[in-house]
Amino acid sequence: MLVCGLLAGLAFAMAIDKVLPEATAQSLLEPGADGRDTADESQAMRRLPGSREEVMLSYAPLVQQVAPAVVNIYTARRVQSRSRSAFFDEFFGRGRMSAPPRTQQSLGSGVIVGQDGLIITNNHVVDGAEQILVSLADRREYAAKLVFTDAQLDLALLQVSTEGVQLPTVDFGDSERTEVGDIVVAIGNPFGVGQTVTSGIISAVARTGVGISDYQFFLQTDAAINPGNSGGALIGLDGTLVGVNTAIYSRSGGSNGIGFAIPVNMVRQFLAGAKTGRIVRPWLGADTQAVTRELAASLGLDRPSGVLIRKVSVGGPAAKAGLRVGDIVTAINGQAATDPGTLRYLAGSRPLGEVVQFSVLRGDRELSVDLRLIEPPESPPRDETMLTGNHILTGVQVANLSPRLASELGTDLPESGVIVTGLTRGAPAARLNFVRTGDIIESVNDQAITSVDGLETAVAGTSTEARVRFSRGGQMAECVFQAPRFFRCRS
């Protein structure tokens, strides 16, 4: 079970503002402008303790430098309570008064990234909050405004008004240079006990598929992280931010030594998106799959390694770079691409317009391919449409898939086809519970569906009988309808 956040007990007020201040520090958005070491210097700093005195070294100077930039965040929102007798009232048809709303309060952490009061935290810490209060390490308190958020990255940007007083900040590191075994320090406010510092190591980098957010790339650490640490800082020994603590894997609700942090390079990408009002993730123009043991054996590889290119979009970055179906990508900019999620992270954490180097295995040859990262196109236009008429799909909202829409939805979706984006209450498909948001309509009465226009034409004459085939999470299913009552689905 993944655990984030903690109930707390404070009340306060704020106003919501969606305008990002111009004072966002440019240094936070530009790699290399924050005092990071070169790769050689960073590697040279990694060594085992050489004496008893070195083992007894303290983290205190590091904590004193960074801790003032880590804050506590308290939120509150009103939720409607359900009266204790609601079930009996509904069962016997009695009218009833709704229970009065109650205030739900929660706790998290944050990191000051701008001296003018810009603060990074997790989206789930402030999601739905009507009031946000920020408490600094020196106990100063400020009401905060939510200025930008991205649910896929699970990040949010807050602004507090300091009336000209500059706040302490933390410098950004480079999460691509973070290695398994590096010592890190986690700072946050677990269980509301107050600012707490724990230490550990990086257990894994580019961890994917852990079910925390849609855009899943995390640093894993064994530094103790508990509820309330969400949004807090994960700091390297050079005093720079390497990640934002997000969640833990736990059966009890406490730390089991498996914590996850959003890499700082993704935070940098989020801040760049905050300046423009939207986050655009780079598009590769290629569909990939992991190289399994069976696939490796069929390809003559000595072990399963890399990512197989199984489809290349015409005119996309991969095609222009010369990548082909059957190529195996082994690394990006020298970092191993072990699965499709890692490949997306290594490319997705780089800015648009940058040229990245793909290490490729093509047959028995090793190649180096340069690929320029670009914005995903919206081709075809999404043409979001609510289906109407006398048929089983009336009341279902659909759209044309494109690289842009697939990226926005943040899941492993094809870049073409027709996707369900919503259902109206009372729609036949909703009552029968056979189609859901995110399903891809493949065919109607054996007519392949490739566009919204094509779907509207296909369903126009299906008032008495329809056979709808669709995919959900890669699994195919088919439902058959015959007026007035026959309904059967099979996968």
Q: Which residues are catalytic?
A: 124, 154, 230
List Cα–Cα distances, 183 to 25, 49, 103, 155, 207, in angstroms: 27, 13, 40, 24, 17
Rounded Cα–Cα distance for residues 47 and 29 (Å): 30
Pair 365, 328: CB distance under 8 Å: no
CA–CA distance from 47 to each of 51, 54, 222, 306, 453 (Å)? 12, 11, 20, 29, 63
The C-alpha atoms of residue 62 and residue 486 are separated, in whole angstroms, by: 69
Q: In this structure, what DSSP letter does residue 283 have?
A: B
Q: Is the torsion defined by CA of 454, 460, 461, 464 positive or negative? A: positive
* Ramachandran angles phi, psi of 361, nearest 5°: -105, 120
Token output for 105:
């309060």
Residue 173 burial class via C-beta count within 10 angstroms: exposed 0-12, middle 13-18, buried 19 and up: buried
Residue 18, Cβ density class (10 Å: 0-12 exposed, 13-18 middle, ≥19 buried): exposed
β-bridge partners, 135: 72, 141
- Kind and range of the H or E run holding 368: strand 365-372
Q: Please enumerate in sequence order all residues whose Cβ is within 8 A of that of 298, keeping only pairs 6 or more positions apart, or say none.
A: none
For residue 100, the one-letter residue type is: P
Torsion of CA 212, 214, 217, 219, to 10 degrees: -20
By the 8 A CB rule, do 192 and 66 touch? no
Q: What is the amino acid identity at position 235?
A: I
Query: Position of tokens 């790769």?
Result: 39
Go through the chain and tell me how many residues it has.
Answer: 491
Structure tokens belonging to residue 377: 């196109």
Q: Which DSSP string do the residues of 154-219 spell out, in sequence order?
A: TEEEEEE--TTPPPP---B--GGG--TT-EEEEEE-GGGS--EEEEEEEEEEEE--SSS-SS--EE
- Whole-angstrom Cα distance, residue 175 to residue 160? 27
By the 10 Å C-beta count (0-12 exposed, 13-18 middle, 19+ buried), 264 is classed as buried
